[in-house]
Amino acid sequence: MIESILWIVLAYFIGAIPSGYIIGRVFYGVNLKKVGSGNIGATNAYRELGVKAGLAVFICDFMKGFIAVHLGMPDPVIVLLCAVFAIIGNDWSVFLHFKSGKGVACGVGAFTYICAPAVLAAFLVWLAIFKWKHIVSLGSILAAPVVPLVMLIEGEPLEYVAFGALAAVIVIGKHKDNIGRLLRGEEKPITREKR
């Protein structure tokens, strides 16, 4: 029990590592919290720093979720708790006064470990929406519910499906400002890299 708690706590701190903030400050001399949308995720890194920065942030956040889930093996309950706490750490990082990312890349990493087909389906939905509207947030919002749906279709344990649903709610909830801008027609599409 003590060991499991330690893995869960470690998963939170892995998720809480502010990848975008570190990459922006160390390699570009830019505080992503003070430019663009003020978010330290891959999308804002892409907009403000270019494609290489955006990809680097995405990969780092992806690996946080992937590694955190691995910590919980082989117990499926601990796997889920590690995944949840990694996403919570990513979204509410203790290192940034509990204000950080939106959990998309971290969640993708966690779910890739748990159920790769669900992630692939969600990615295809995201890609279709992005190609259509060039708006990352819209793709993320619409792709998030695809994960638990595909997990249910694939016959994954109900605990995993429930986790997928919870993660989708968290992702969508973290996009509340984007949803407001989408409804007002103010959300900016990505059309080109800056650098």
* Interval 126-138: pLDDT, tens: 999 999 999 989 9
At 191 the pLDDT is 66
Residue 194 reports pLDDT greater than 60: no
Band of residue 96 on the pLDDT scale cut at 50, 70, 90: very high
Band of residue 45 on the pLDDT scale cut at 50, 70, 90: very high
**What integer best gives the mean pLDDT of the chain?**
91
Task: Give Cβ neighbours of residue 86 (< 8 Å, ≥ 6 apart).
Answer: 11, 12, 14, 15, 64, 65, 68, 69, 106, 110
pTM of the complete model beyond 0.75? yes
Residue 145 reports pLDDT greater than 90: yes
At 146 the pLDDT is 96
At 92 the pLDDT is 93
At 192 the pLDDT is 52
Rounded-to-integer distance, Cα 1 and Cα 74, Å: 14
What DSSP string describes 10-24? HHHHHHHS-HHHHHH
Rounded to 10 degrees, the C-alpha dihedral 58/63/68/127 comes to: 50
At 101 the pLDDT is 77
Rounded-to-integer distance, Cα 156 and Cα 158, Å: 6
Residue 77 reports pLDDT greater than 60: yes
Residue 56 reports pLDDT greater than 70: yes
Number of neighbours of residue 29 by Cβ within 10 angstroms: 7
At 132 the pLDDT is 94
Residue 118 reports pLDDT greater than 80: yes
